Structure 1
Amino acid sequence: MIKETLKVTGMHCPKCTARVEKTVGAIDGVESVAADFEADKVELAYDGQPSTLAAVKAAIAAEDFVVED
């Protein structure tokens, strides 16, 4: 498993973090996800596949949040 921290902006409350965690947690290859709206970050443990990371970023963007590089 690969652990990564993504900078994600646009989350403003616990409901935002719950949306991100639910959406990202449903992606195949994701072992765990923890979003923190106060720190603008999403901590992720996943299978290390580039396609999984791309799917995670796309899922976060689909929830109207911004993943910064």
Structure 2
Amino acid sequence: MRPHTHPSLAAFINSCIAIGLCLMGAAVLIAITGAPPVLLITAALITGAAGGLWITELLGCFTPRPRNAG
């Protein structure tokens, strides 16, 4: 593995970003609709985590594969 490629770190960062965006969306929905916060926050955490992993997989498709040094 090359030193600058850390797929698990990338997945973690993408998940944190997606969770943060989903939580901000949940906060807006709570403020506008007065919906129960626990339900929206739980949904945001689950959706953000899944979305972050999906984004990591999607971006991985466009990342060049390292050549074998053989």
* Structure having the higher Rg: 2
TM-score, normalised via structure 1 length:
0.38
Structure 1 or 2: more strand by fraction: 1
Structure 1 or 2: more helix by fraction: 2
TM-score, normalised via structure 2 length:
0.37
